[in-house]
C-alpha cells in the first residue's frame, strides 16, 4: 500500500484510506499510524480531527478477534440459559437454534451501532 500521509506522532509514512478517497481533506486532519495507535493503548485524544491509519490486514485480524469474542460470549450465555433444552434437541434443531441466536445477536449489534452512529452525527 502506498504512503500518502505522514504520521503526526512519529513522522513515519503511512496510508490513510479516507484521505486517499478525498485528497483535498488531507490537511484538515492529524494522522496516527497503527504502531502509534497501539503504543497509545488505542486511545486518540481528538477523535474528530485524527485519522487512525489501520492497515487492512490489521482490520481483518481485529474483526476475527471480535467475532471470536462475541461468539464465545453468545455461546456461553446461550449454553448457560438453555443447556438442558439444547441437550434434548436434534443436531438440526441445535444448528437452527444457534444460527437464529447468532442472527439475532448481530441484528441487535447492528441496531446499537446504527444508533451510536446517529447520535455522533
CB 54 within 8 A of CB 37: yes
For 65, counting Cβ atoms within 10 Å of its Cβ (0-12 exposed, 13-18 middle, 19+ buried), the class is exposed
Q: Per-residue pLDDT for 121 more than 80?
A: no
d(CA 102, CA 74): 8
Q: In a 3-state reduction of DSSP, which class is residue 15?
A: coil
Q: Which whole number is the average pLDDT over 48-72?
A: 86
The pTM for the full model equals 0.54
Q: Which whole number is the average pLDDT over 46-64?
A: 84
Listed as own residue / partner, the contacts of 19-24 with beta carbons closer than 8 Å and 24 or more positions apart are 19/51
Amino acid at each position: 500500500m502506498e504512503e500518502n500521509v505522514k504520521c503526526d506522532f512519529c513522522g513515519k509514512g503511512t496510508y490513510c484510506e479516507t484521505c486517499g478517497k478525498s485528497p483535498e481533506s488531507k490537511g484538515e486532519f492529524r494522522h496516527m499510524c497503527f504502531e502509534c495507535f497501539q503504543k497509545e493503548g488505542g486511545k486518540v485524544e481528538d477523535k474528530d480531527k485524527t485519522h487512525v491509519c489501520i492497515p487492512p490486514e490489521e482490520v481483518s485480524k481485529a474483526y476475527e478477534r471480535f467475532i471470536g469474542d462475541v461468539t464465545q460470549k453468545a455461546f456461553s450465555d446461550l449454553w448457560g440459559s438453555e443447556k438442558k433444552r439444547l441437550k434434548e434437541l436434534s443436531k438440526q434443531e441445535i444448528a437452527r437454534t444457534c444460527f437464529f441466536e447468532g442472527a439475532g445477536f448481530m441484528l441487535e449489534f447492528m441496531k446499537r451501532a446504527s444508533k451510536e452512529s446517529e447520535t455522533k452525527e
